[in-house]
Amino acid sequence: MKKIILQPSTLGVPIAPYVPGTKRNAFVFTSGQVALDKEGNLVGKGDVGAQTRQVLQNIKAVLQEGGATLDDVMKTTVFLADIKDFSAMNEVYADFFGDAKPARSTVQAALARPEFLVEIEAIAIVGDE
């Protein structure tokens, strides 16, 4: 099976050379998502909780395009511009994943734009039962 490009209609088309997600067989991979809406506007300027919410909504859209849900996520990587924002990010993250917690790494990193406070990528597996 060949690679399938995932470009949800609810997300803007990236201007950089990447796509929001890909799928091959049962595997769905999201690119690192930031808190941009479909028009490319930042959601939650200065508010890591609001940005995390938008980021996870974007991830849900990419997963859905690939036939997956948050319950199918096996691993996430969270990038925080400032590790001091861990608790605020984690509170929103826990609301989204509930009891279906994936494996996760969280690191502090310089993000692509200074106004981005959080970026998250995910790997999901669908139809493995």
Q: 99-108, pLDDT tens digit by residue?
A: 999 999 999 9
| pLDDT for res 127 | 82
Q: 13-25, pLDDT tens digit by residue?
A: 998 999 999 999 9
Number of domains comprising the chain: 1
**12 domain residue, yes or no:** yes
**129 domain residue, yes or no:** no
CATH number, position 45: 3.30.1330.40
Q: 70-111, pLDDT tens digit by residue?
A: 999 999 999 999 999 999 999 999 999 999 999 999 999 999
Residue 37 CB partners (closer than 8 Å, separation 6+): 12, 43, 54
Residue 22 CB partners (closer than 8 Å, separation 6+): 3, 4, 5, 6, 28, 29, 66
**18 domain residue, yes or no:** yes
Residue 94 CB partners (closer than 8 Å, separation 6+): none
**52 domain residue, yes or no:** yes
Domain around 26: 4-124
Tokens of 68: 């997956």
Residue 15 CB partners (closer than 8 Å, separation 6+): none
pTM: 0.96
